[in-house]
Chain A
């Protein structure tokens, strides 16, 4: 699983990052790099079956708190 992820991202970076770097589009390259790193970490975490905390839970807690505050 992990091997597939790394292989996939290696191919993707050849397809995506190198042209950007060659064309000297620095800003695009860096933004894309940051996004790429985020998605790569997420992919690895998912492939290792590590639980990533879901923002849906946090939102639920916050909204319930606000609703209670209004209901008071």
Chain B
């Protein structure tokens, strides 16, 4: 089998789209109302040390995926338990993204079509993408990113006429503690979700590129998300919390002349692309994880079944959209702690210790040799 390789540029595109996936849909830090943008900035700031940790793990073990690393550090039994935890998270996240997006399509465009039909249609492309491998997903990401960015810029420029810049005041009207609280939830969604990409970045070409990719990707995605949040606040004001899909709502106010109006259908394109990339990566990593647990030769054989289970799982998660939004805003950030913070810390500490001792061993041997 040819080893898959992705370039730094592709990896950055992948990371940006991954971070934008479903977060542009439901918005970040909406609970902080018109301070949501501050919460977003806080989220980025909180996340930067963790991004460095993730990148560090990848660059210590260059060319190995997170599953190999875990087994290497924790042995076959405990390592496998960690892998199960990690792939569960990836699987669950994939299902969440899928549900999010399909719920959006169901609510906004196809209320009469059953949710299962939309989900099955959408999981088809995820399965196809995960089966074709990470190189193909990465190359599709390079196609998608310009489309997504251009669409957003266009929409944001067009919606200038509907903006009310006073909406941003009062800054910190609800107190700093609220912003800090929401800042934590925007840390866990979407930024720290990029822990999943540890299962992907083993394909990077150079040892140093992990840090660069993480920093560039997180900053770029942060800028896009915060601008978007600001636009939403300027357009919607404090009502931002009342919408399930704030950016969709704010772009629906666009009206330039008689011809350009109701442009929100166009922005749905970027929702599709980002959600597609994100859930495909999740499915890919989950399948790789399952393959690693059972020590399979190749993950490709199980993609279809895992994808189908993911689709069904996303269907049974919630009964309706209110439940989903409530879970996302109140439970998710705590649920994600073990996967986003504890798991990487576990790996990182152990990896550093091992790395140091190995270096000492090598230098010791060197001295003996002299």
A9: nearest chain-B partner, CB-CB: B308
Q: Convert A28-56 into 0s and 1s, putting 1 for each residue whose CB lies closer than 8 angstroms to a CB of B.
A: 10011001101100110010000011111
Contacts of A36 in B (CB 8 A): 305
Residues on B with C-beta less than 8 A from A20 are: 301
Secondary structure call for the B interface: helix
**Could you tell me the distance in whole angstroms from the C-beta of A24 to the nearest C-beta in chain B?**
12
Contact A59 to B335, CB < 8 A, known contacts A12-B304, A27-B295: yes
Contact A60 B309 (CB under 8 A): no
CB neighbours of A55 from chain B (8 A): 317
Contact B297 A46 (CB under 8 A): no
Interface residues on A, range: 20 to 34
* Inter-chain contacts of A7 with B (CB < 8 A): none
Note all chain B residues with C-beta closer than 8 A to A42: 309, 312-313, 316
CA distance A54 to B304 in the complex (A): 22
CA distance A3 to B283 in the complex (A): 28
Given contacts A42-B312, A54-B317, A56-B318, contact A32 B335 (CB under 8 A): no
Taking the closest CB of chain B, its distance from the CB of A42, in whole angstroms, is: 4
Q: Does B294 contact A (CB under 8 A)?
A: yes
Main SS at interface, chain A: helix
Given A27-B295, A27-B296, A31-B302: A67 in contact with B318 (beta carbons within 8 A):
no
Q: Does B290 contact A (CB under 8 A)?
A: yes
Q: Are A31 and B296 within 8 A (Cβ)?
A: yes
How far is B294's CA from A36's CA once the two chains are assembled, in angstroms?
Answer: 15
- Which residues of the other chain, A, contact B316 by a CB distance below 8 angstroms? 42, 46, 52-54
User: Is B116's CB within 8 Å of the partner chain A?
Assistant: yes
Q: Taking the complex as formed, is B28 at the interface, i.e. its CB lies under 8 A from any CB of chain A?
A: no
Q: Are B301 and A28 in contact (CB under 8 A)?
A: yes
User: B116 to chain A: which residues have CB within 8 Å?
Assistant: 46
Residue of A nearest to B313 (CB): A42
* Contact assessment for B302 and A28 in the assembled complex, using a CB-CB cutoff below 8 Å: yes
A46 CB → nearest B CB, Å: 6
Q: How far is the CA of A31 from the CA of B297 in the complex (A)?
A: 12
How far does the alpha carbon of A15 sit from the alpha carbon of B254 in the complex, in Å?
48
Q: In the complex the two chains form, is A25's CB within 8 Å of B301's CB?
A: yes
Say yes or no: B315 contacts A63, CB within 8 Å. no
How distant is B80 from chain A, measured CB to nearest CB, in Å? 14
12 A-B contacts (beta carbon < 8 Å): A16-B305, A28-B297, A32-B301, A32-B302, A32-B305, A36-B305, A42-B309, A42-B313, A53-B316, A54-B317, A54-B319, A60-B327
Question: Chain A: residues with CB nearer than 8 A to chain B?
Answer: 12, 16, 20, 25, 27-28, 31-32, 35-36, 38-39, 42-43, 46, 52-56, 59-60, 63-64, 66-67
